[in-house]
Amino acid sequence: MSQKIAFITGGNRGLGFQTALDLKEAGVKVVIGSRNPGQGEAAVEKLRAAGVDADFIPFDITKPADHKAALDYFTSKYGRLDILVNNAGIAAGGFPVTGPEHSVAEAPEDLLRKVFETNFFAPITLTRTLLPLLKKSPAGRIVNLSSILASLTLHADPNSPIYHAKSFAYDASKTALNAFTIHLAYELRDTNIKVNSAHPGWVKTDMGGDQAPMELSEGGKTSAALSTLPADGPNGGFFHMGKPLPW
C-alpha cells in the first residue's frame, strides 16, 4: 500500500479535525481518534464529504487499553503507521491567557497531575506503543502538538509577547513535551522517522476562544506540513508555519 496512513488523536474537532482536512492534499488515509463515538462518526462523515479518506476509532489518550486497541487496529488493518499526530490535549484554565494564571504557588497538585497526564505522559506512552509500526514506515513522521507557551526562552524574556501569559500547569506540560520531542528525535536520528513539535498558533477553537487572531483553516497547516516532510526535512525542531521557534 503506497498511501500514507495517519493517526490523529483528538481528531474529531478543532485543530485535529483541521489537520485531517489539510492532509487531504497529500492523499493521506486519516484515522481520527475521539473519546466520544458519536462525535467521531460525525467528524468522519464531514471529512468524507470534503473528500478526505477518513476512518474513526474510539480513543481516549489517557486510557492505556485504548493505546493497545489502536496498536491492534493499525497492525491488523495496515501493518504499519506512517504519521502520528499527538494532538489531544487539555488546558489548565481559561484561554486566552493574558496574565498570570495558575501560578507556581497556586496551581493545585491534582491539576498539575491531570494536565501532565494528558499533555505529557499519555502522548509518550502512545508513541512508545505505536513506535514499532512507525518503524515499518518508509518515512515515519511524529508530530507533537505543543504551544509557543512552552518556550522557556520567550517566557524568560521581558520583551517577549508571552512574558505575562503564564499558566504554570499548561505551559510546563508543553515544555516537557518539547523535551520529549528532542530526546526522541535524537534516538531516532539514524532512522527514517522524523519527530517535531508544532505550534499551531493562537486559533479560534474551543480552547483558543473567539479573540484568537487566526482562523481554524490556518490552524492545521503546521501539523500537516510536519506530517508530510520530505526526506531532507528537519528533525527534532519546534515550528510554526515553517519557521523555527526558540525552545
Nine-digit cell string for 208: 483558543
86-121: pLDDT as tens digits: 999 998 765 444 454 568 888 889 989 999 999 999
Percent pLDDT > 70 in the chain is 89
- List of domains in the chain: 5-244 (3.40.50.720)
CA dihedral 150, 151, 155, 159 (to 10 degrees): -140
% of the chain residues with pLDDT over 90: 79
**Close Cβ partners of 71 (under 8 Å, ≥ 6 residues apart):** 129, 130, 133
Is residue 195 predicted with pLDDT exceeding 50? yes
Q: Is the pLDDT of residue 13 over 80?
A: yes
Q: State the pLDDT at residue 52.
A: 97
Confidence class of residue 1 from pLDDT cuts 50, 70 and 90? low
As a whole number of angstroms, the distance between CA 203 and CA 8 comes to: 18
pLDDT of residue 97: 47
- pLDDT per residue as tens digits for the range 163-188: 988 889 999 999 999 999 999 999 99
What is the pLDDT, as a whole number, of residue 107?
84
